């Protein structure tokens, strides 16, 4: 069974990203991050039709269930990465994530 995701234009996608629940991670939603998340959503829509990577839902449900839940870890991870004394950046692994959640979303918000 294939699953269709909502056909959002770029501005609708950004409205979801910058909606009511975005206050906690707004500092990380840079133009570069938003562009990466938009491109990810486009690929997710394309591939979801073929291999059902995520379940169906409205635009708001898809944003909150996948992107917002992934972004919820960003403030915590940012604090943790700064607190870890290291000469080189620590390695963070995302094992077994599906469709790029949460790993891709976190990497887009915390590049480098």
Decide: helix, strand or coil at residue 98.
strand
Match 């909150």 to its residue by tokens. Answer: 64
**Residues 17-62: tens digit of each pLDDT:** 666 556 666 788 888 998 899 899 889 989 988 888 988 887 778 8
- Report if pTM > 0.95: no
Calculate ∠ Cα 102-63-9, nearest 5°: 120
């Amino acid at each position: 069974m294939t699953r269709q995701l909502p056909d959002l234009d770029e501005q609708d996608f950004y409205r979801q990203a910058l909606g009511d629940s975005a206050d906690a991670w707004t500092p990380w939603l840079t133009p570069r991050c938003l562009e990466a998340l938009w491109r990810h959503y486009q690929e997710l829509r394309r591939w979801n039709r073929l291999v059902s990577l995520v379940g169906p839902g409205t635009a708001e449900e898809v944003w909150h269930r996948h992107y917002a839940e992934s972004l919820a870890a960003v403030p915590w991870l940012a604090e943790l990465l700064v607190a870890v004394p290291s000469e080189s950046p620590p390695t963070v692994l995302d094992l077994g994530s599906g469709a790029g959640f949460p790993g891709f979303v976190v990497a887009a918000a915390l590049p480098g």
